[in-house]
Structure 1
């Protein structure tokens, strides 16, 4: 299919110095010369305006178990229609989706689907929820907002790096039912050196999403020698407990070598299990281990009585102890949306 560029004007930008397009979508706040691109490669200065250059450009689509995102407390056991585009506003040296996240529009084969097309497809296929995932969804801001406008009943989930300014993030919160945010490390040196971002901006995004009442889960990819010190993970856990809530689910995921970090070893399983135990001992009610198969490490337990309420083996889910969002045994309300 030929490249289609509908020249949809971006939101959240302003003009500086006569002809510089200043983007206000993410904390990079790129100042873009005429015909130039922002760091995300998704926004371009064209004829005196900033254009959402990735609008409607789809690189990937699939129907996934919602646990794959990962969401363990949002509509467990369901499947979700998932779509992704091209580009990213961070440049993680270990990105497993680098073939789309690091590829500019026009350099990667994509298919154009209007917001109306996607909303109609979901209705035709009886999908009641859609995940914007695979690459960074916040740089698809205009498209996400338009999909919601086409079908306000379609539930929206975002799998995001959280690198977005507060005003547009609040707008995304107004149309989103759930977000999983990657907290990639809990030190600025990691963010600066390996991702090209700042930890404080991501922390603030997590706080905003929680404050806005959107279902929030966090993923912490544990990378040997980079973000896996006990002290760093302890600070992360304490921040979740004290600045968000002990009920926010946290996923400690296993690293596998990819992109520019092919010589870094996979995360030892014992490390993941140790961090899970440390999180639970520090007061988090829901800590999980991801990207491995291990007995009980992905199961959900009632924090009040300790009963297993959801058993998971890979993406196979068995809801064994829930009465709506309450523990079927002690009736304690859990942070679970069904």
Structure 2
């Protein structure tokens, strides 16, 4: 039998979010209902609200979430009622060409729930990233649920569901940062600072944080950056020179662009050492174009990579990172800038835009 709960939707482009009744159907085959405990306020939710992802309004916002499984459908065997889970938006299929060649983190056919959650009048909702977790309950595919240690604080563990995993994975999975490497991270919001933390976990010896905001640079240094570059009064060449000065004149082994703009990508490209790696994890907008001499691409060698969701495999990475958190080796609590109620999301979007928080976390 379906159940009605409260949830936060974006009804039209640019409108203020709305707390309203959401109808959650009984889980069908392969589906799960999760009682949401916490959900981070991510830039992606804001992009949905503003129509920057697509125009399939109304959206049920929220995706960076942790909670407890409360109902399961037929054929579900990876989770049981009562399990504490972090939700993910890359539920790998195991059958596509990426999965079959042993690269499931590139899965081209990820799973979502087949049934639709609706408004009380029957209007179908589009859940953000196939999750829709600014709600007391949500319906997802069972493979979107990853069991982790229930001793973890949900507010911290839930952040692994998107931004923190994207940053840590950009360093450890995509960038393959290893012991003794030098790393530069451009943009020190939640994803960028997570890349700093991931670089530290991987054993990088030099970690350079780059941003225009002194508060963000301070947080990055608190969480592992060895150097900080305030780029507020610099041009692109100045940033490149500053990174080279801190790396023996050569440039960093790995440069992570956590902003996703043409100018920051060029900085990343030229601030790396010869045969170094550029990782793009910041998400560009459709109109952005990049122009760079092809001879420079050839002459500098190395690797130019994009990082999708930190190239993570949730069933492998979420439990491991949760365990590191519980061991005191991964400071997830430091990313929780504030805990808020479900009616405070528009205010949280404003704080995020002003750079005042790493993450606001909704507690349900």
- For normalisation by structure 1, the TM-score amounts to 0.29
Decide which structure has greater helix share. 2
Higher relative contact order structure (alpha carbons within 8 Å, sequence separation ≥ 6): 2
